[in-house]
Chain A
Amino acid sequence: MELCSFLTLDSFITDPLTHDFMRKALLMSSLVAAVCGFLSSFLTLKGWALMGDAVSHSVMPGVVVAYALGLPFSLGAFIFGVGSVALIGFIKQKSRVKEDTVIGLVFTGFFALGIVLVSKIKSNIDLHSILFGSPLGISLSDVKQTIFISLLVVILLSIFRKDLMLYCFDPRHAKTVGINVFFLHYLLLTCLSLAAVVGLQSVGIILVVAMLITPGATAYLLTDKFDNMTVISVLSAIISSLIGIYVSFWFDLETGGSIVLAQTFIFLFAFLFAPRYGIFKLKKLFTGYK
Chain B
Amino acid sequence: MESINYQNFRIDAENICVDYNGKVALYDANLKLKPGQICGLVGMNGAGKTTFFNALTGFVNISKGKIRINGESVRSAQKDQTIAYVPQNEGIDSQFPISVWDVVMMGRYGSMNIFRCPRESDVQAVKDAIERVDLTDHLTTPIGNLSGGQRKRTFLARAIAQRASILLLDEPFSGVDIRTEKLISELFIQFKNEGKTILLSTHDMIHVREFCDLVLLINKTVVAYGETSEVFTPENITTTFGGISPDFLFGPES
* A binding-site residues for B, Cβ under 8 Å: 45, 93, 159, 162-163, 165-166, 168-170, 172-179, 220, 223-226, 228-229
Contact = CB atoms under 8 A, between A and B. Distances in A.
A166 B85 CA distance: 14
A178 B110 contact: yes
B57 interface: yes
A176 B109 contact: no
A166 B106 CA distance: 7
B57 A176 contact: yes
11 contacts: A159-B114, A170-B106, A172-B59, A172-B87, A175-B78, A176-B59, A177-B162, A178-B78, A223-B97, A225-B98, A226-B98
B20 to A, nearest CB: 10
Identify the interface centre among A169, A172, A177: most chain B CB within 10 Å of its CB: A177
A226 B101 CA distance: 12
B93 A175 contact: no
B150 to A, nearest CB: 15
A178 B114 contact: no
B79 A178 contact: yes
B175 interface: no
Contact of A225 (B21, B80, B142): B142
Contact of B110 (A165, A179, A223): A179
A166 B96 CA distance: 11
Chain B binding surface, main DSSP class: mixed
Contacts of B162: 177
A166 B97 contact: no
Interface in B144-164: 144-145, 158, 162
Nearest to B84: A176
B7 to A, nearest CB: 22
Contact of A172 (B75, B85, B116): B85
A168 B98 CA distance: 11
Interface in B30-76: 54, 57-59, 75
A175 B58 contact: yes
Nearest to B158: A173
Contacts of B102: 226
Contacts of B109: 162-163, 166, 174, 177, 179
A216 B78 CA distance: 32
Nearest to B141: A224
A77 B85 CA distance: 39
Interface string B123-153: 0000000000000000000101100000000
A173 B97 contact: no
A45 B98 CA distance: 11
Given A170-B92, A225-B142, A176 B58 contact: yes
B57 A169 contact: no
B81 interface: yes
Interface in B101-129: 102, 106-107, 109-111, 114-116
Q: Which 5 A-B pairs have the closest CB atoms?
A: A177-B110, A178-B78, A224-B142, A162-B116, A176-B57
Nearest to B20: A93
A257 to B, nearest CB: 30
Contact of B115 (A45, A162, A176, A178): A162
Contact of A170 (B54, B78, B87, B144): B87
A169 B98 contact: yes
B59 A93 contact: no
Contacts of A159: 114-115
B237 interface: no
